[in-house]
């Protein structure tokens, strides 16, 4: 049986082609492309047994063991899952680590039911290599960086632009100590693959706008080439009054926040705050959450901004002052950036 093999990695990533990743769950959680779903041909235990057999007895014995472990109702259930996904997702593809046996066997089993779907040539390994190449090439793009003090609305402004990448959204983290639970962030490989897909979805002939980020977003690290490009790119500063920034932070973080998240986040910057200021802020924060009083929340947010985030950001911005090409309000910055993007 001839098997159709697809190697247009650009199309797979750019157009979010649905991919059935038949690797084991343990392999999948280490990283995958954004459009992949894990429907394994072997679970973790089965893969371990087959791997040991392959090492000790060779490929033929490993294949026989795999077919024994995944037989009867187990095999029928897995094939049914693949068929169901393929039926509801036109253009679905099979993918394993290197586009080898697991993809081919999955293809053959599914073909027996009358459903034929291609496999990704080279598998996840080839897709990963292509993603890294796209990120490597990002140094040649034209970038604009959107900066501003905490709470100024940078992310909201970014999402209104026609040629921007939201790095914090890809990282599932808002960037600061209060940016979210790092346990909910994707693994580094998935983050970089999603970044590569985002790079393919925008116009490289025009400036690409990103938010001013440190090298790390939560526990994820920006690729060196991208971070280097950002560090030398022109900088646009969004300016907003302290009162409005306090209100923004209250609306974005506190209204839907969990008290323990804030106390844990405050603990992460305890050393930089100093003992006395940390205890003062923690007391204000606990009082606010215990009473539910909005004014108490605004008080600790005010203190955190004026005593910690603003001085730190102002110092960092001073080091970048030569790169600043525009400062303005939310509307003025949005209009300026969109003109820069359109005019190239």
145: part of which helix (H) or strand (E)?
strand 143-147
Binning pLDDT at 50, 70 and 90, where does residue 257 land?
low
How far apart CA 182 and CA 169 sit, in angstroms, is: 13
Q: Which domains, and CATH codes, for the chain? A: 5-131 (3.40.250.10), 141-343 (3.40.50)
Determine whether 131 is an active site residue.
no
The number of CA neighbours under 13 Å toward the Cβ of 110 is 29
Mean pLDDT (whole number) for 152-164: 94
| Dmax (CA) of the chain | 73
Candidates 17, 53, 95, 131; catalytic one: 95
Q: Which among 84, 66, 54 is positioned nearest to 24, based on CA atoms?
A: 66
**Residue 259: is its pLDDT beyond 70?**
no
Number of CB atoms found within 10 A of residue 265's CB:
18
Contact in structure between 166 and 199 (CB atoms under 8 Å): no
As a whole number, mean pLDDT of residues 192-203 equals: 96
Question: pTM of the full predicted structure?
Answer: 0.92
What token pair was written down for 277? Answer: 């200021």
The pLDDT, as a whole number, for residue 178 is 65
CA distance 106 to 289: 53
pLDDT at 179: 60
Average pLDDT over residues 48-68: 96
């Amino acid at each position: 049986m001839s098997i159709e093999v697809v190697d247009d990695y650009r199309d797979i990533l750019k157009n979010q082609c649905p991919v059935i990743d038949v690797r084991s769950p343990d392999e999948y959680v280490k990283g995958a492309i954004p459009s992949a779903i894990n429907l394994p041909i072997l679970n973790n235990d089965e893969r371990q047994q087959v791997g040991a057999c392959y090492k000790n007895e060779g490929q033929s014995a490993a294949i026989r063991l795999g077919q024994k472990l995944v037989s009867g109702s187990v095999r029928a259930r897995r094939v049914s899952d693949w068929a169901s996904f393929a039926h509801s997702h036109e253009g679905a593809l099979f993918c394993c680590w290197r586009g080898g046996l697991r993809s081919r066997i999955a293809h053959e089993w599914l073909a027996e039911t009358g459903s034929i779907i291609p496999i990704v040539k080279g598998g996840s390994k080839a897709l990963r290599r292509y993603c890294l190449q796209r990120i490597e090439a990002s140094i040649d793009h034209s970038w604009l960086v959107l900066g501003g003090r905490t709470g100024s609305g940078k992310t909201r402004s970014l999402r209104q632009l026609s040629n921007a990448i939201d790095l914090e959204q890809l990282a599932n983290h808002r960037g600061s100590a209060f940016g979210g639970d790092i346990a909910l962030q994707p693994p580094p490989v998935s983050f970089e693959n999603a970044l590569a897909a985002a790079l393919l979805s925008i116009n490289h002939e025009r400036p690409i706008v990103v938010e001013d980020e440190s090298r790390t977003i939560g526990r994820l690290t920006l690729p060196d080439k991208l971070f280097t490009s950002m560090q030398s790119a022109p900088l646009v500063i969004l300016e907003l009054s302290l009162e409005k920034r306090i209100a923004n932070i209250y609306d974005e973080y506190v209204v839907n926040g969990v008290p323990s998240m804030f106390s844990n986040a405050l603990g992460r910057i305890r050393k930089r705050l100093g003992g006395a200021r940390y205890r003062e802020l923690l007391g204000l924060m606990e009082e606010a959450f215990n009473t539910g009083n909005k004014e108490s929340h605004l008080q600790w947010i005010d203190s955190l901004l004026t005593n910690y985030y603003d001085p730190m950001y102002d110092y960092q911005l001073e080091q970048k002052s030569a790169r600043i090409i525009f400062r303005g309000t939310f509307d003025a910055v949005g209009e300026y950036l969109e003109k820069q993007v359109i005019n190239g």
